Structure 1
Amino acid sequence: MIRDRGNKKWVSLMLPEHVKMLKDMSVDLKRRDKPILDEYQIQEFEERLKYAQKFKLPVEFSIYEHGFIKEIVGRIIKMDSLEKKIKIKAINDNIEYVDFNQITNVQIKD
């Protein structure tokens, strides 16, 4: 049985630009299209957000950013319906602003 090092053997012969390009390609392959939400899902998200804000409950947001889904958990400080933005105080005490159009899922945490 032949045991070689696979790609490690060839990486030393590659230019740094090629290695960077291969890493970028692997990141691009993991990108996803933005999920399409119907109006019932959007209405459900709005109801959950209002409920969580009223009772000061923590909320887990799934947010679409540049082809990836990012998770943020925190409490809603303010919802701006004109700008369609939500101000959140995350668990790590950072203040985050979320555009409502970026939200793909909302779950109330207990």
Structure 2
Amino acid sequence: MNDEFYEPVFDLSKLQDRGNKKWVAMMLPEHVSLLREYGKEIKREPIPELDEWDYDAIQHTLDMAIKSKADTKVKLWRDGAFFYNRGIVESVDLRRRVIELEDPFSLLQLKLDEIVDVTIID
């Protein structure tokens, strides 16, 4: 027999782990639901803190978009997630605190308090 040290080689690429399935059987349904809620909360985006300069830039961009009837992208923050809408800004109603954005399918009313960023698309 050969005196060399023999080391077995394992192919780890064929190893298939069951992931969380193997642990779910040992957990109570309450624990599973709490883990799912925790996972959703981790994915939440924090609300961006806008200062006076940011609000001024948003107002200036909205004014330009209304005057030029340009295609505009509006970024909103709602319930921990960012949403994007694209269209032509028709009007800004400061009493109701909404803007009216006309996209190809409908006329949307977006709340001014949810707006994070406004960009004019060339």
- Give TM-score scaled by structure 1 length: 0.81
**1:72 and 1:16, CA in 2 relative to 1: closer, same or farther beyond 3 A?**
farther
**1:38 and 1:95, CA in 2 relative to 1: closer, same or farther beyond 3 A?**
same
CA deviation after TM superposition for structure 1 residue 8, in Å: 3.2
| Structure 1 residue runs of 4 or more that deviate by more than 2 Å after TM superposition | 1-4, 8-11, 13-25
Query: Over alpha carbons, which structure has the higher Rg?
Result: 2
Hey, what does 1:105 align to over in structure 2? Answer: 117
Unaligned runs of 5+ in 1: none
Secondary structure at the aligned position of 2:57 is classed as helix
Cα distance in 2 for partners of 1:90, 1:63 equals: 15
Hey, what does 2:88 align to over in structure 1? Answer: 75
**Residue type at the aligned position of 1:58:** D
CA deviation after TM superposition for structure 1 residue 41, in Å: 1.2
Aligned residues: 108
Structure with bigger RCO (C-alpha 8 Å, 6+ apart): 1
Unaligned runs of 5+ in 2: 1-11
Aligned residue among 50, 71, 77 for 1:64: 77
Cα distance in 2 for partners of 1:69, 1:82 equals: 25
Bigger CA drift: 77-86 or 1-10? 1-10
**1:16 and 1:58, CA in 2 relative to 1: closer, same or farther beyond 3 A?**
farther
Answering whether residue 71 of structure 2 is matched by residue 53 of structure 1, we say no
- Give TM-score scaled by structure 2 length: 0.74
Q: Compare the two structures and name the one with the higher strand fraction.
A: 1
**Residue type at the aligned position of 1:59:** T
CA deviation after TM superposition for structure 1 residue 9, in Å: 3.6
**1:16 and 1:94, CA in 2 relative to 1: closer, same or farther beyond 3 A?**
farther
**Residue type at the aligned position of 1:44:** A
